[in-house]
């Protein structure tokens, strides 16, 4: 990472945002702990550990924020410098689409397109190899699980699988 990518009082300082997210989570945990009741020191309640863990989270997050403001930190852009950032984005989008379709369309109808996408979009595998792998791998796993291990995978509204 180049030195000129280190910024202090800038909004794209990634360290600052990491700390702020941590602080937000810490405050949420404190609030959850309080809502669950702290109890007393000789009879701690359900929220006791959550509350104090939340305080610790806020302290650590605050120290990250202070360090990011005083020492600076890398920008978001520099974190992805020389990286093919579109590739993980494609995988995340494919997995999200898969998650939404899994219950509705079932394992086989969702995983075959997922495999085609991953095989073709990360570092493209030629079609003549991608299609057989995308079909055989999920089908083979489905067969092993259903026939040999008697595990039912989601079959979706079309009840395929």
Partner 1 sequence: MDTIINVAHGFGIALLPVNLVYCFIGVFIGTLVGVLPGIGPISAMSLLLPVTLSGTPESGIIMMAGIYYGSMYGGSTTSILVNIPGEAASVVTCIDGHQMAKQGRAGPALGISAFGSFIAGTFALIALMLVAPSLASVAIAFGPADYFSLMALGLVVLTFLTQGSMAKALLMACIGIVLGLIGLDSITAQPRLTFGRIELIDGIGLVPVVMGLFGVAEVLLNTEQIIKRDIINAKITQLFPSKEDWKASTGPVARGTVLGFFLGILPGGGAVISSFASYALEKRLSKTPERFGNGAIEGVAGPEAANNAAAGGAFIPLMTLGIPPNVVMALLLGAFVIHGLQPGPLLITQNPGLFWGIVASMYIGNVMLLVLNLPMIGMWVQLLKLPYNILFPLIVLFTIIGVYCSSNNVFDVYVMIAFGVIGYFMRKLGYEPAPLVLAFVLGPMLENNLRKSLILSQGDLMTFVTRPISATCLALAVVLLVGPLLPSLRKKRELVALDEGV
- Residue 98 binds partner 1, judged by CB under 8 A: yes
Neighbours of 136 (CB within 10 A): 12
**CA–CA gap between residue 131 and residue 122 (Å, rounded):** 15
Asked if 51 and 34 touch (Cβ cutoff 8 Å), the reply is: yes
Q: Tell me if 99 contacts partner 1 by CB under 8 A.
A: yes
By CB under 8 A, tell whether 32 contacts partner 1: yes
- Does 48 interact with partner 1 (rule: CB under 8 A)? yes
Phi, psi torsion values for 6, nearest 5 degrees: -85, 120
Q: How far is the C-alpha of 144 from the C-alpha of 126, rounded, in Å? A: 27
Write out the residues near partner 1 by the rule CB under 8 A: 14-15, 18, 22, 25-26, 29, 32, 36, 40-50, 53-54, 56-57, 60-61, 63-64, 67, 79-80, 83-85, 87-88, 90-92, 95-96, 98-99, 102-103, 107, 111, 114-115, 118-119, 122-125, 129, 133-134, 137-138, 141, 145, 149, 151-154
């Amino acid at each position: 990472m180049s030195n000129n990518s280190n910024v202090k009082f800038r909004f794209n300082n990634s360290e600052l945002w990491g700390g702020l997210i941590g602080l937000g989570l810490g405050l949420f945990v404190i609030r959850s702990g309080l809502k669950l009741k702290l109890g007393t020191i000789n009879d701690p309640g359900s929220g006791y550990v959550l509350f104090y863990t939340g305080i610790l989270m806020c302290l650590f997050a605050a120290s990250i924020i202070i360090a990011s403001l005083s020492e600076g930190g890398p920008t978001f852009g520099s974190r992805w410098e020389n990286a093919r950032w579109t590739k993980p984005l494609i995988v995340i989008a494919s997995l999200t689409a898969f998650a939404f379709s899994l219950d509705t369309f079932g394992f086989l109808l969702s995983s075959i397109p997922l495999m085609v996408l991953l095989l073709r979009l990360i570092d493209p595998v030629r079609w003549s190899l991608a299609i057989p792998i995308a079909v055989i791998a999920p089908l083979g796993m489905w067969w092993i699980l259903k026939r040999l291990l008697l595990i039912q995978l989601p079959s979706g509204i079309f009840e395929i699988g």
